[in-house]
Structure 1
């Protein structure tokens, strides 16, 4: 078995698992990106980032389509968040070589620990839809957080879906299913923006990206189907597991 085939098998397994996780609560990049860095250490980091954007984009698109059949979208809120997130993700991708990620990661770690504690002790978090804002305020808040998370996705990436779900629940008052559905659409925009930048600068390894995309799509299909079947309580538990895994990942990066 050639080295390329061995690498491809491992990458496709990682892509399938990432697609499955990402379709439910986001955070698939926490598995897919480190796995790709580990399996392909001989390529530049920018090429790895560009390569994983293709499976992430296509897998997220499949999950979004599955959700769209059963979830009613708030297009005003969604449009605001998508627009700002897309623009900010382009800027984030451009800034990969300009900003030291080591400065940002400790801040993210503290935020994630707070999220995990709050979600665990607030049993009703994301179980029911609860809106306290007017549509106008929701649109403005969605646009603001789209800027922050979009920039983060272009710059670092892993965990973006989970952060989007958190915003749609904690800030905008959505339940877990609705938040997951809306987060997928925004994540499509951020992935597309970053991919446009990385592909234009020659940082995409298509011989790996396209097969990985097929397996990410397959994982996303099953993940979204399971999430819609099981509902909010199941997604809440899965969300906690992924957030805890994210905390461990960032703690490792910060403390090593």
Structure 2
């Protein structure tokens, strides 16, 4: 599949925007995946290529958060291991569904994931390291990693946001530490799903690799911006994207 220069420019801007948003509060997939689908890329290829560009971009925001010591590795590594396993299973499940049905499922999930993201009010707490027993932390972090990882492998958008919500709700992370730790887990699940898609030859490298460069820029810039200020920018953007996705889905059904 080949894109025109204007389609590439559109995609590059959207991937930059997705990386910027995702590095702050998650949900970048609500922008990047619809962008791939909007250009007429088949659902399986869109999911696979989105994993390629988002994985590469996430490496840089993860590095920046880790460098500033916001990542809680004790929790992140456990979640990342189980996220890797869950994501591979989720991606394999997605590959079993026909492209036409998968497109409908993706459209519905995008709307619900976006609505959940917009309505959720994350609580602000001051604890960075959860003060619970290792056994409890292991159980919670592994459960979160596997379930969210499976969701990420099957679909993806909103994964980072859901991880942040889980960490702040069940392990009392502050928002910045939750976002930073979520990056490691999200990166692990992205790579796992990407491997599954690579095995099945679904990744469009001639589209995903150039797009990844702009994802890197977005992730690097976004990770340097405070989450509190970022939320004010993110929600209006997601609303616009959701409107476009719903409009496009309804137009195809009529």
Gaps of 5+ in 2: none
- C-alpha deviation, 1:75, in angstroms: 2.4
1:102-117 equivalences under 5 Å are none
Tell me the C-alpha RMSD between the 2 structures: 3.1
Contact 1:169/1:176 (8 A) holds in 2: yes
Answer yes or no: is 1:217 the counterpart of 2:216: yes
Which residue, 38, 48, 67 being the options, matches 1:50? 48
Give the equivalent residue in structure 1 for 2:181: 182
Q: What is the number of residues matched between the two proteins?
A: 245
Distance change in 2, residues 1:253/1:187 (3 Å): farther
Deviations 1:185-214 (A, max 9, x none): 111101100110111111111111111000
1:87-166 equivalences under 5 Å are 87-98=85-96, 119=121, 125-129=123-127, 131=130, 133-166=132-165
Distance change in 2, residues 1:104/1:129 (3 Å): farther
Give the equivalent residue in structure 2 for 1:79: 77
Contact 1:106/1:250 (8 A) holds in 2: no
1:183-198 equivalences under 5 Å are 183-198=182-197
- C-alpha deviation, 1:248, in angstroms: 6.8
TM-score of the superposition, structure 1-length normalised? 0.82
- C-alpha deviation, 1:74, in angstroms: 2.8
- C-alpha deviation, 1:58, in angstroms: 1.1
Give the equivalent residue in structure 2 for 1:65: 63
Give the equivalent residue in structure 2 for 1:31: 31
* Distance in 2 (alpha carbons) for counterparts of 1:111 and 1:18: 15
Distance change in 2, residues 1:85/1:254 (3 Å): farther
Deviations 1:118-172 (A, max 9, x none): 61xx7xx134227453232122101001111100011111111111111111111
- C-alpha deviation, 1:98, in angstroms: 3.9
Gaps of 5+ in 1: none
Distance change in 2, residues 1:248/1:167 (3 Å): farther
